[in-house]
Amino acid sequence: MCGLLGTLVDWPSILDKLPAISTVRDVIVAGAAVSTATVGWKALNKWRDETVGKRRLEVAEDTLSAFYQVQEVIYDARSPMIWASEMVKEEGVPDEVVGNSAYGPVRRLRQSFDHIRDLRTKRHRFAALFGREATKPWDEIEGVLNEINAASETILMLRGEHIPATDPQAKFYREQRRILARQREDDPITPRVDAAVKGIEAVCRPIIRAWGRT
């Protein structure tokens, strides 16, 4: 019987083949692991890209909306018409200041300060996502707000609201009033605000468009 089994089963041949079978198995297992890892890595990258993309979209929409809001705030604040109903007493503000038209734009900006503050708070998050270079429009808006405040203070402090044309400083005060009130032609403020909005649009609009929002 032993001789018969020895004749029927070629053990040496089978034993010789076992290492090869083991190697093939190891290769298959390793290949499956690599394939699984690759699929997992691609899925992780896709999830990460989508997450970052959605965050960039959220910030882009939020920031652009804030710029539009402040653009409107500045536009309304510089309305040439100051209504008597606006000139109400304010705590800590002298009556002669409240009743001066040069104070009107600053009063309106203060009433809408929440929108201005909201825009300011978005700057650092925007810089973190898009780089500091992309935050230049904030500088332009801040420059405009500072100029409006400075022009108002200049006229109020130096009593330059009724300077005759013959006065040597008449041109200077006229320039200050042009900063405070919108001009139909050669407006020194509106084009700068519009340029700041266009600058932020150049960064945000392509992102919003890429997500099919516009």
- Residue-wise pLDDT for 7-45, tens only, equals 555 555 654 555 555 665 565 555 555 666 555 545 544
Write down the domain spans for the chain: 39-210
Question: 38 vs 178, which has greater pLDDT?
Answer: 178
pLDDT at residue number 44: 45
Is the pLDDT confidence value at 160 over 80? Answer: no
Task: Report the alpha-carbon distance of residue 89 to residue 98 in Å, rounded.
Answer: 6
pLDDT at residue number 6: 47
Is the pLDDT confidence value at 111 over 70? Answer: yes
- pLDDT category at 211 given cuts 50, 70, 90 is confident
Class of residue 105 by CB neighbours under 10 A (exposed 0-12, middle 13-18, buried 19+) = buried
User: Are 199 and 137 within 8 A, CB to CB?
Assistant: yes
pLDDT digits (tens, 9 = 90+) for 52-65: 578 899 999 999 99
Q: What is the mean pLDDT of the chain?
A: 82
Percent of the chain with pLDDT over 90: 52
Q: How far is CA 10 from CA 7, 15, 24, in A?
A: 7, 9, 21
Alpha helices in the chain, H assignment, sequence order? 2-8, 11-77, 95-98, 104-111, 113-121, 123-130, 136-158, 170-180, 190-210
* Least confident span in 142-146, 155-159, 180-184: 155-159
Average the pLDDT over 181-204 and give the result: 96
pLDDT at residue number 213: 55
Q: What are the b/e assignments for 165-202, b being 16+ CB within 10 Å? A: eeeeeeeebeebbbbbbbeeeebebeebbeebbebbbe
Average the pLDDT over 105-118 and give the result: 96
Closest of 92, 118, 87 to residue 105, by C-alpha: 87
Most confident segment among 20-34, 45-59, 62-76, 146-160:
62-76
